[in-house]
A and B are shown apart, each in its own frame.
Chain A
């Protein structure tokens, strides 16, 4: 059993911690950093409740060792809200009722956030494909799709407003 000093930047703050080699990234986030917004929903890399962004790309944090994240940048659901303002995807899930129990939501939000950063105007099919690694047992996905579409429109409107003001 080896111990490793790692430095992972989480939501902009670099934290140095000593971890056991077998510690999973999700446990590092939840237990060492007390960022319990990232959920654990399965043991088999299927559900995506644990999805976080690794250097901007969604990954399943239950299927990565904390040591593998050394020197990398992680974003979790706690990093979405900025200055007391919800991120457009969060607002979308709120407005369109994109959740019921909320268990899948942190993963859904992170995947949607990465999708919109990479493709600001996704088609419905592209949204469905992007979230196909995130399971929701409540909503039937319909309102999740609407939430992501709302977020895409909101971001577009924000861009136009910023453009008009400049």
Chain B
């Protein structure tokens, strides 16, 4: 299908892009990798007056560790994340996540910033970024602001990003030693949204109890969020199978999936429970807890 008509501009600086968005806050939309936005426009589920393509702005694609943080340029392609040795060795949870996003061809264009800014609870990065305690850097007419990821997702396809702001960077605090994380996804086939998925990130103490815990589920809540009760239950305890299973149960209990072609509510909750416990187990193993 063919999208309905729109204007298109391809600015070459962030300042220029922001000015273009500010001029038309209701009708203009940022085009990054386009792998979510263009299908939406093609199916005419969405319409725009103007696309502001940030594809020609230099300096938006990078991965680097700096000042205790991993910095990911907003337009960094998923494929770059997938093939990065830094990510594979230091941030295995991100490596797990990127490998199950869409398919390898889509990942050549899809961007990390776009995956977050789209605000789709079916996307995979939100859960991972929530458990990593990431920060989102955005630039608008009034300059730059840094949004903690816990405050970023506001509703279905709604984020804290203003219409005249551009997501320029994602910052992930480098986890301390004895940390581990994992992302586990159940999908009907490559390229599908998750039936359910779980992101887990833990830090163990020197004596082997859980000091910090992050747990979040994908596509079983209207808004990506952490499983707060499950996280609280984990703190200060030895990570044995019974504990991790109980945390999975608490996370699933707090979820509210919709029934659709991917399954009934009970099935999705049960899958969420199992996946959460599995993700936690891998996270604990990677943290050196075994």
Q: Chain A residues in contact with chain B, CB under 8 A?
A: 1-2, 4, 20-22, 24, 27, 43-46, 48, 51, 54, 57-60, 62-65, 67-68, 111, 129-130, 132-134
Contacts and interface: CB of A to CB of B under 8 A. Distances in A.
B64 interface: no
A20 B111 CA distance: 25
B104 A130 contact: yes
Interface string B15-57: 0000000000000000100110011011100000001010100
A63 B37 CA distance: 9
Interface stretch (B3-11, B144-152, B174-182, B218-226): B3-11
A41 B42 CA distance: 14
B2 A24 contact: yes
Given A48-B105, A59-B109, A133-B106, 11 more contacts: A1-B5, A2-B9, A22-B4, A22-B41, A44-B39, A57-B108, A63-B34, A67-B53, A130-B104, A132-B190, A133-B103
A64 B8 contact: no
Given A22-B2, A22-B6, A65-B8, A51 B42 contact: no
B1 A63 contact: no
A115 to B, nearest CB: 9
A64 B191 CA distance: 17
Contacts of A1: 5-7
A116 to B, nearest CB: 14
Prevailing SS type, chain A contact patch: mixed
Given A22-B6, A64-B34, A43 B105 contact: no
Nearest to A58: B105
Contacts of B5: 1, 20-22
B167 interface: no
A130 B7 CA distance: 35
Contacts, number: 90
B38 A63 contact: yes
Interface residues of B, number: 31
A20 B53 CA distance: 15
B79 interface: yes
A26 to B, nearest CB: 11
A21 B104 contact: no
Contacts of A46: 191
B102 interface: yes
27 contacts: A1-B6, A4-B8, A21-B51, A22-B2, A22-B5, A22-B6, A43-B1, A43-B39, A45-B35, A48-B103, A51-B105, A54-B108, A62-B42, A63-B34, A63-B38, A63-B106, A64-B34, A64-B109, A65-B31, A65-B34, A67-B53, A68-B53, A111-B105, A133-B102, A133-B103, A133-B104, A133-B190
B39 A21 contact: no
Given A22-B5, A43-B1, A57-B108, A64 B42 contact: no
Contacts of B191: 46, 132-133
A67 B6 CA distance: 12
Contacts of A48: 103, 105
Question: Which of A46, A63, A67 has most chain B Cβ within 10 Å?
Answer: A63
Contacts of A2: 6-9
Contacts of A64: 34, 38, 109
Question: Which of B9, B105, B191 has most chain A Cβ within 10 Å?
Answer: B105
Question: Which of A21, A43, A45, A54 has most chain B Cβ within 10 Å?
Answer: A45
Contacts of A58: 104-105, 108
B103 A132 contact: yes
Nearest to B39: A45
B6 A63 contact: no
A68 B7 contact: no
A21 B106 contact: no
B141 to A, nearest CB: 23
Contacts of A130: 104
Contacts of B105: 48, 51, 58-60, 111, 133-134
Nearest to B191: A46
A59 B79 CA distance: 11
Contacts of B7: 1-2, 21
Contact of A68 (B2, B3, B34, B102): B34
A1 B7 CA distance: 5
